[in-house]
């Protein structure tokens, strides 16, 4: 690459590690630091904070944990910063950061990009007949927040105006990278392939250390988690990039880990829809370039749709989660009996007070493979954590269970610790209302110093379908001497959530494994395997560039996010469960050393 733009990914979510920024500032030639803070649940938290204090509503960690300790070094090195930390109040985020800068005798030029907040016009949108994308329902009466997922054009415009730091509201996660690349390389906004390639670059590093060994299937190979390296990308003018991490840090730069991240939270890889472009990731290639360096290329783009995706957040009742440790002989049986007794007792108290029953309850025995359903292994244990979750329309309806759990410590099973950290808190249930809003109805603006100017709308073009995919239909028959191994022997996998849907990307460790995986892992197999968790259909998509299959499991998370009562509401464990799925392979693959033989505990268990 004759010229590259070097970008460090310093945050994957609100609450990510404070080690990222100082670590990345040691990288020679670093030009940009980008931060992603926002998720649907985060937006509702910010809305409640702003309701209590008009000066809040942004990711305060960005100002006080990321910027304040490092702002001097950032300014001295001339590193530019882009963050969606503004949340619901980008101006307040700017004001707080400017105050920190003044205290340190610094004066970075800070721009804000606004216009994604739809609350001022939501009544008008409601009057237009707005409906939820997934359920078709009308919007609820009261929303905490409503924001469009906007693109990168405002970021690039702020950089062109001379901003040192750009703070946005609810832009898509990858926009913080696309904006920098479009500015540096003067990309046209209708150069769909380059905008798609930049989107892929942003997508790979938007979750921080997930690109550098975090969550990797082969986690035992990843060294020094305590000093995990955060991602650095060197991006070329065509959008291709090389991923690395700071010298001397932990983590692992591995093609398998990067491929996992490419498919993370992606539905149909041919239709990855962003506000600035419709991406096609089917032919993306991930190649080891040198030790500690992986090259990523092959994204393609088409014109985007005429609408922004938008999400509103709203409260739908209240929930409570209790955790109790139970030990001793027959610990699982004692735990189940304890849960049954507490729910029976508190239901009687609800009736006595004239209150309705719980709207939903869930009992899980953590330590007994509670989420595995029929695939759980019956292992003797004398120690479990009993988890009881309940939901009610009235917070007072959960007060009985909140109080009564303490009684289990003296009146139920021996060996019970009825609380880990005092009385559990009753929390609001935050749900998401997803909808589309025409791009023409948003007026985005950039403000820098005393200047404010409109952001041009996203480029448009004729709607086009993705090119047909020529899939190799070769099928491998395992043969009469076939043996069964767990999927992990043949593939890497990672799962991610999109609301109540779940995706699992399955990447063959060797290209020759893919035909066999295709033959034995179809939508029907996954639907059956996850029947205890999935209420909707399962789809499978081909990703030949990565030698991969991407599965989308609809209505798989019990509502998803904080709307789910499950102990894994984001589905992080789905891929881990699938990696135990048995696959029949030719015995010669083991004899030739291509696959490690089945472990004894996989011989009789799925």
For every residue of 109-153, DSSP letters joined together read -EEEEE--B-GGGHHHHHHTT---TTT-PPPPS--SEEEE-B-SH
Closest CA relative to residue 97, chosen from 63, 70, 66 = 63
Query: Residues with Cβ < 8 Å from 605, sequence gap 6 or more?
Result: 375, 377, 580
What pLDDT, in 10s, does the model give residues 293-311?
Answer: 999 999 999 999 999 999 9
Angle at 186 between CA 183 and CA 189, to 5 degrees: 90
Highest mean pLDDT among 418-422, 472-476, 481-485, 559-563: 481-485
What pLDDT, in 10s, does the model give residues 151-173?
Answer: 999 999 999 999 999 999 999 99
What pLDDT, in 10s, does the model give residues 459-492?
Answer: 898 888 898 888 777 777 788 889 999 999 999 9
Please check whether residue 206 is in contact with residue 7, taking contact to mean a CB–CB distance below 8 angstroms. no
Same structural domain, 52 and 167:
yes
581 lies in a domain? Answer: yes
Same structural domain, 293 and 329:
no
Whether pLDDT at 134 is above 90: no
Same structural domain, 282 and 339:
no
91 lies in a domain? Answer: yes
Same structural domain, 160 and 83:
yes
- The CA–CA distances, whole Å, from 114 to 63, 156, 278, 314 equal 18, 14, 23, 22
450 lies in a domain? Answer: no
Tell me phi and psi for residue 594, to 5 degrees.
-75, -30
Q: How many CB atoms lie under 10 A from the CB of residue 128?
A: 12
Pick the residue with more confidence: 201 or 377? 201
Q: How confident is the model at residue 1 (pLDDT cuts 50, 70, 90)?
A: very low
pLDDT for 476 equals 77
What pLDDT, in 10s, does the model give residues 200-214?
Answer: 999 999 999 999 999
Same structural domain, 171 and 288:
yes
pLDDT for 555 equals 96
473 lies in a domain? Answer: no
Domain hosting 225: range is: 5-115+150-304
178 lies in a domain? Answer: yes
pLDDT for 47 equals 85
Tell me phi and psi for residue 167, to 5 degrees.
-115, 130
Whether pLDDT at 599 is above 60: no
58 lies in a domain? Answer: yes
458 lies in a domain? Answer: no
Please check whether residue 181 is in contact with residue 473, taking contact to mean a CB–CB distance below 8 angstroms. no
Same structural domain, 296 and 317:
no
Please check whether residue 316 is in contact with residue 431, taking contact to mean a CB–CB distance below 8 angstroms. yes
CATH number for position 423? 3.30.300
Same structural domain, 265 and 400:
no
Whether pLDDT at 602 is above 80: no
Can you state the angle between helices 175-185 and 192-205, rounded to 10 degrees?
A: 130
**Rounded to an integer, what distance in angstroms lies between the CA atom of residue 25 and that of residue 32?**
10
Same structural domain, 273 and 382:
no
Query: Residues with Cβ < 8 Å from 498, sequence gap 6 or more?
Result: 265, 267
Q: End of a domain among 412, 431, 450?
A: 431
Same structural domain, 331 and 187:
no
Burial annotation 258-293 (CB, 10 A radius, 16+ → b, else e): bbbbbbbbbbbbbbbbbbbbbbbbbbbbbeeeeebe
What pLDDT, in 10s, does the model give residues 514-523?
Answer: 999 999 999 9
Q: How confident is the model at residue 141 (pLDDT cuts 50, 70, 90)?
A: confident
469 lies in a domain? Answer: no
Same structural domain, 89 and 232:
yes
Same structural domain, 262 and 379:
no
Domain total for the chain? Answer: 3
Same structural domain, 237 and 320:
no
Segments in 206-292 forming alpha helices (H):
255-263
């Amino acid at each position: 690459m004759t010229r590259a733009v070097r970008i460090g990914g310093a945050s994957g979510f609100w609450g990510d590690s404070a080690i990222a920024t100082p670590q990345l500032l040691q990288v020679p030639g670093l030009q940009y630091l980008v931060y992603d803070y926002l998720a649907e649940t985060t937006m509702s938290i910010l809305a409640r904070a702003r309701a209590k204090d008009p000066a809040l509503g942004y990711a305060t960690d960005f100002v006080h944990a990321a910027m304040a300790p490092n702002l001097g070094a950032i300014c001295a090195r001339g590193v530019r910063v882009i963050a969606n930390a503004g949340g619901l109040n980008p101006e307040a985020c700017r004001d707080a950061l400017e105050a920190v800068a003044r205290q340190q005798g610094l004066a970075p030029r800070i721009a804000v990009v606004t216009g994604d907040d739809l609350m001022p016009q939501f009544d008008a949108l409601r009057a237009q007949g707005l409906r939820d994308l997934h359920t078709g329902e009308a919007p609820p009466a009261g929303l905490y927040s409503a924001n469009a997922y906007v693109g990168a054009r405002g970021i690039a415009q702020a950089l062109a105006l001379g901003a040192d730091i750009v703070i946005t509201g609810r832009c898509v996660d990858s926009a913080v990278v696309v904006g920098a690349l479009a500015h540096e390389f003067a990309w046209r906004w209708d150069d769909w392939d380059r905008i798609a390639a930049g989107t892929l670059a942003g997508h790979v590093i938007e979750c921080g250390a997930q690109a550098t060994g975090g969550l990797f299937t082969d986690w035992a190979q990843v060294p020094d988690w305590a000093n995990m390296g955060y991602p650095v990308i060197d991006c070329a003018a065509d959008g291709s990039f090389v991923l690395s991490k700071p010298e001397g840090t932990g983590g692992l730069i591995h093609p398998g880990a990067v491929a996992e991240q490419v498919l993370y939270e992606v539905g149909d890889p041919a239709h990855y829809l962003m506000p600035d472009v419709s991406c096609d990731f089917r032919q993306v290639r991930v190649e080891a370039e040198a030790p500690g360096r992986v090259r990523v290329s092959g994204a393609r783009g088409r014109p985007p749709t005429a609408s922004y995706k938008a999400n509103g957040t709203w409260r739908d009742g209240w929930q409570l989660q209790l955790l109790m440790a139970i030990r001793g002989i027959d610990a699982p049986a004692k735990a189940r009996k304890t849960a049954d007794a507490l729910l029976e007792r508190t239901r009687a108290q609800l009736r006595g007070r004239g209150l309705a029953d719980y709207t939903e309850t869930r009992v899980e025995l953590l330590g007994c493979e509670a989420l595995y359903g029929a695939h759980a292994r019956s292992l003797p244990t004398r120690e479990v954590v009993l988890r009881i979750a309940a939901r009610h329309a009235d917070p007072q309806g959960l007060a009985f269970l909140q109080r009564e759990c303490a009684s289990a410590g003296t009146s139920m099973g021996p060996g019970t610790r009825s609380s880990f950290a005092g009385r559990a808190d009753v929390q609001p249930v935050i749900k998401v209302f997803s909808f589309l809003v025409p791009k023409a109805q948003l007026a985005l603006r950039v403000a820098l110093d005393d200047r404010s100017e409109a952001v041009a709308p996203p480029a448009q073009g004729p709607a086009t379908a993705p090119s047909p995919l020529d899939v190799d239909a070769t099928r491998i028959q395992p043969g009469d001497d076939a043996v069964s191994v767990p999927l992990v022997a043949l593939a890497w996998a990672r799962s991610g959530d999109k609301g109540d849907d779940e995706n699992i990307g399955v990447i063959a460790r060797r290209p020759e494994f893919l035909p066999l995986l295709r033959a034995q892992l179809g939508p029907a197999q996954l639907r059956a395997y996850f029947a205890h968790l999935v209420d909707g259909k399962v789809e499978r998509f081909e990703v030949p560039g990565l030698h991969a299959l991407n599965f989308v499991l609809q209505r798989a998370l019990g509502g998803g996010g904080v709307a789910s009562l499950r102990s894994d509401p984001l589905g992080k464990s789905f891929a881990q469960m699938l990696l135990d799925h048995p696959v029949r392979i030719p015995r010669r693959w083991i004899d030739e050393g291509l696959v490690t033989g089945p472990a004894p505990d996989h011989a009789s268990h799925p």
